[in-house]
Amino acid sequence: MPALVLWFLACVVSTTVGRPFDVLEYEQYAHAALHSPLFHHLPLEYPAPALAVFIAPLLLPFSYPWAFAVLAGLAMLVMVTTYEGSGLAGWDVHAAGRLIIYLALGSVMVLTGRYDVFAVTAALLSLRAARRDRWNAAWTWSAVGAAVKLFPAVFWPVFLIAEWRRHGRIPVRRLWWMAGTVLLVAGVPALVDHTAALNVLHYYLHRPTEDGSLAAGLSVLFDWHGTNWSSTFHSVNVVSAISGGLGLATEVAGAGACVWVWWQQVRGRLPLEAACLATLTFVMLGSKVLSVQYVMWLMPLWALYRLRVTWLLAATANLIVFPYAVSATGLGYLPEHAFATSLTLTFFARDVLIVVGTCLWLRTVLVARTPRAGRPLALQNA
């Protein structure tokens, strides 16, 4: 029932108050793809297989925004009910309740207004399958999620290490899952237009630093007077003399943090769920693009652990930007530059809260897995 209430609120917000710009863009992509010649008009910023998600609402007898909301609601219900009946420690009704709390605090505005919920559900299903030692299902679900939204591919190094540790051999055959996903993402566009094979990669590389990223917040702090904002690539971006360098620095730092996580996993100091959450967090924080809906990627994994104040505050800050932006632009009580600055710093506070919460949580996990003197390691790992 709480999940249904959350879905209803998300529908009302996304179809009325929130003005579903992204959903209407999905509808345009769907109709363009179905025009003759079929599937020759592909999205620039999304993987080509995402068209399956965009076209599906056209099959329902509702207006496109409501049809999309219905499908997003079904995906959300699958995600919430994934925790129960798994037989896994920590995967229970309490985890489902924590997920609903996080989603209500930080993602109600985008839950049915973005298509990320479909990839998030696939990512969670892949993690559950991996925890149950069902590796074929785990890799299949992660491939589905990666084909739709790319980010579930960050689980692959974690899965490789976990399967290797579980079975004592490097799972070389999983390279076929990776290659098949890459072929699907890049090969489908290449079939209709060879220049469109790497659309998503080119789109990301040419984007400036988005105002929600860590690099954007640091740019404002270190170059207050030299920072400007531009509305390009369907987002508000920060432009300054140092924003590009800061973006590269955060990407390198994020990559280095991921390598550290994988090394800790190889040593047996991080379990599967923790390694997946840490990897996804550092990839997201290291990116020069950190949109509001991206925080939703973390919430199903946050829900596997006790509620943390820092993550709750980060989710709240993620939601605050919507009423703040609507009121500030609608009522005009702030100059444009002051509004852009304050919005970027709000995002920066959210990102810092995620960093602090993740570091504190990682410390707790690592301490719990550290061998204690006089206690057999096998007993501690049991």
Q: What tens digit of pLDDT does each residue of 118-158 get?
A: 999 999 999 999 999 999 999 999 999 999 999 999 999 99
pLDDT digits (tens, 9 = 90+) for 258-278: 999 999 999 999 999 999 999
- Burial per residue of 253-263, b for 16 or more beta-carbon CB atoms within 10 angstroms, e otherwise: ebeebbeebbe
Predicted pLDDT of residue 375: 45
Closest by CA to 18, choosing from 101, 111, 105, 104, is: 111
375: phi then psi, degrees, rounded to nearest 5: -120, 125
Residues near 227 by Cβ (< 8 Å), separated by ≥ 6? 219, 220, 238, 239, 240, 243, 341
* Alpha helices by DSSP H, 267-335: 272-286, 299-302, 309-331
Residue 379 confidence (pLDDT): 32
| Model confidence, pTM | 0.90
pLDDT for residue 232: 76
The answer, yes or no, to whether residue 336 has pLDDT greater than 80, is no
Where is 236: in which H helix or E strand? strand 235-239
Give the pLDDT band (50/70/90) at residue 373. very low
Helix (H, G, I), strand (E, B) or coil at 110: coil
Which candidate, 66, 62, 59, 60, places its Cα nearest to that of 34? 59
Predicted pLDDT of residue 66: 87
Identify the pLDDT of residue 135.
94
Indicate the domain borders of the chain: 1-194, 207-382
Cβ-contact 60, 264 below 8 angstroms: no
Q: Which of 278, 258, 272 is nearest to 161 (CA)?
A: 272
